[in-house]
Structure 1
């Protein structure tokens, strides 16, 4: 496999050299590697597993449909039921199409927006990631293979900065604005999302919310349910299947029907995929929605996240590294920051923290919890973090992490060249 993984965020260059475990199974919030080591895992499935690995009700729902076949030449009753149950969660959405990955949904939203407006340009908020497709990757540093003409069709604006968006919309004919309403690192300032909605309305621009992470983590109805601002289209994935591959594009009927049969306009090729509505993932979706309706996974994630953040930050104060190691973000979507002696973000010090956590049975590039994390898992993580920070403090006192690392530091996942973690 190029890079040794099917997702760049899962690559060995994202972990201390020689320490990236090869996993063989998971249960709850724990995973086991090929050498028999057990880890408390965070960021499970790149934030897609919110109920825990091997969550029994989802597996039971999947097993129940297997004997009936998986893929057919016509839509199934299951597709209709899943669509109805999903749309009941999403404020203001009339229609949905299911896909497999998040990029299916976001790229379909871009195509719909361009058709609806007759414009080409896309305004993308300066947030980490929206799609594997050319319209987005062309604007990144890692954009080899993307034609320059495609790269020029994406413009940027800043989060919580209405003036930057206003300038983009006034100077360009923009088909759509695509953004996350909130992230682990940033909440919307008062009036910001409302201002975005107003600017889009004034300029005839389609507003698209990416709910990949916020959906079923901020609320069952996503960030739009939390903040009360309705997009024209919204894109979902990750937690919808608790690890099973499913994504969704939801939106207003008059836009969505441009890809349907109730339009006299030129038709949009809209998420027409062989595996978009196979039975396994739709059964998993319905089971996930039941789990959210009958229980409180988000409440559990928020509670465990608060306990974890408070415990690790308290340990940092005790060890005396609280200016260098901090846990921040929404409790259900925590990040940790790692800084050097000057207070600047540091890849070597991040690597050192990851290295020492791994040695103590904690696996994760952040502290994003699931509803399966127990208080025991949290306590083990706090203990591991405290011990890791004792090593971290020694490195700070030495003025460098280099002498404490067993290999090269981690590197940004979406960099232009394989160096500085090129495989020799």
Structure 2
């Protein structure tokens, strides 16, 4: 790749994208991976990855951030994880009865997340968040779900997607049963609970986001849920492992009734988890006297090599201090990007946000407003410099030299950003249409 030239061309990736769109709706299996999220004709199609680097089908190598939408936190093809999975491949992956590995994986998970008493594994985050909601409704006998409106995504299922601009195909009667509360605002949340007194089954939220929880907020929310008879559900898809091995609940010392994990749990292997209090979880089992809850029943939920991978991930995190490394790398990157942006006079326009282990960036226009056009310009320059960064979420495979190289590329991108701000028009540097938000009503 020419790291200094003004142009970057990806002919093979372009052809591969056409092939993908002809066969797969959206051209990818996650909307966040769509080529509409990247500058026009600059959506690399990946050949392979190792550590913190990926190669596209055109032969270009990139330093990669946001690996696998935050799932590959140890880096691609991590030897401890791939070896654990490989050991199971010759032993069979799925049987007509449970394998002992399922008990071992559950024991390992509950030792890592000691705030939970039982766990059930699945393949993706949507399955387990929806199972948590169903369990809360069954336990309380209440129909409504209260979700935190500050979190962009909880599930592909109707109870959530009906609340987004992409609500086509979802009956209004279902969407009306979902209400929202603002993060950090206890008074507004209590007002919602009083407005729908006795109707709200659960409060579901990401326990932490781009800012730290207000002091005492999560503890007070725990008390509020108890006072109103609601189930408190923490979505730890992102915070799990990146905040601490035991997630945000472990870091902040607040025990939810139910919690959901995924992403980093498998380092790219398909595995997610619903965890929680025995009294609730057992309602989906065979050792209780109440109405049965169809909690989770997935043919591939206990696929042996994925569970072995998850066990290896947890061992690696604990033994190698991965969470601390993620924070150290993120702090180095955030400081470098901020210094580069300040140095080019765009420090108020290229803004790094979030916990060090989960950094994102905002691209603001000359009036300080979020801009997809400036994001397009910025991404284009990063790609030209060999940095694939829909976010600045780090993996532990990054080296300090990768971080320093990234900061150099960011500085070059910020120089172009400054020119666009001075012209009050990013169009000449966009190379085509602007990147688009995932959630929008029309294509």
What is the CA RMSD across the aligned residues, in angstroms?
0.7
- Which residue is 2:126 aligned to? 103
SS, match of residue 179 in structure 2: strand
What do the CA deviations read for 1:1-24 (whole angstroms, capped 9, x no partner)? 111111000000000010000001
Question: Following superposition, which runs of at least 4 residues in structure 1 exceed 4 angstroms of deviation?
Answer: none
**Aligned partners of 2:186 and 2:425: how far apart in 1?**
40
1:77 to 80, 85, 100: 100
Per the TM alignment, residue 93 of structure 1 is displaced from its structure 2 partner at its CA by 1.1
Instruction: Select between 322-331 and 145-154 the one with higher mean Cα deviation.
Output: 322-331
Q: Distance in 2 between matches of 1:35 and 1:378?
A: 24
Pairwise CA distance, 1:242: 0.3
Does the CA contact (< 8 Å) of 1:91 and 1:230 recur in 2?
no
Deviation at 1:367, TM superposition (A): 0.2
CA deviation vs aligned residue, 1:134-189 (integer Å, no higher than 9, x gap): 01001111110001111101000000111111011111110000001101x12110
TM-score normalised by length of structure 2: 0.93
Report 1:19-418 matches (<5 A).
Answer: 19-126=42-149, 127-172=151-196, 173-183=199-209, 185-418=210-443
Distance 1:196 1:397 in 2: 46
3-state SS of paired residue (1:382): helix
Q: CA deviation at 1:327?
A: 1.3
C-alpha distance in structure 1 between counterparts of 2:216 and 2:337, whole Å: 33
Contact 1:200 1:206 in 2 (8 A): yes
The 8 Å contact of residues 21 and 33 in structure 1, kept in 2 or not, is answered as yes
Q: Distance in 2 between matches of 1:293 and 1:187?
A: 23
- Matches of 1:400 and 1:258 in 2, distance apart? 58
Instruction: Kindly indicate whether the alpha-carbon contact (under 8 Å) linking 1:79 and 1:282 is maintained by their aligned counterparts in 2.
Output: yes
What secondary structure is seen at the aligned counterpart in 2 of 1:332?
A: helix
**Superposed CA offset, 1:179-235 (max 9, x none):** 01101x121101111111011000110000000000010000000001111100000
Which consecutive residues of structure 2, in runs of 5 or more, have no partner in the other structure?
A: 1-23
Q: Is the 8 A contact 2:366 2:424 kept in 1?
A: yes
Aligned residues: 417
- Partners of 1:413 and 1:176 lie apart in 2 by 27
Cα deviations across residues 102-156 of structure 1 (Å, max 9, x unaligned)?
0111000000000000001000001111000001001111110001111101000
Q: Counterparts of 1:79 and 1:317 in 2: how far apart (Å)?
A: 51
Return 5+ residue gaps in structure 1 as ranges: 419-424
1:47 Cα deviation from its structure 2 partner: 0.3
- Give the drift of 1:92: 2.5
Q: TM-score, with normalisation over the residues of structure 1?
A: 0.97
